[in-house]
Amino acid sequence: ILNVEQSPQSLHVQEGDSTNFTCSFPSSNFYALHWYRWETAKSPEALFVMTLNGDEKKKGRISATLNTKEGYSYLYIKGSQPEDSATYLCAAASGGSNYKLTFGKGTLLTVNP
């Protein structure tokens, strides 16, 4: 079973603060790392999918990095806004063609105005 850990479990920041959270996963047999944003009463929506060591992706104020050798990914939010409040999930895929995509339990971000 692939063990995907996210930290912190929850985070409160003030509007305008920049923040980041961590996803760690086993580095052996790694194939892909996904980040999803999950707002209350909605479904998770994909932010990024990364596969290569050193990958860095950006979407507006949100960016993510990937280190496959040490088994971690960071998600950064610059200048947090109240609408960024959500649970951020990461998921790791391993195993090649018969892969398994396993989710962490998420980081709940609350941005106070």
Residues contributing to the site for another protein (CB under 8 A): 31-32, 34, 36, 42-46, 49, 51, 89, 91, 93-106
Q: How far is the CB of 103 from another protein (least distance, A)?
A: 4
CA–CA distance, 101 with 20 (Å, rounded to integer): 23
Contact present, 20 and 109 (Cβ < 8 Å): no
DSSP 54: T
Q: How far is the CB of 11 from another protein (least distance, A)?
A: 17
Q: How far is the CB of 91 from another protein (least distance, A)?
A: 8
Closer CB to another protein, 17 or 101, in the complex: 101
Other C-beta atoms within 10 Å of 88: how many? Answer: 24
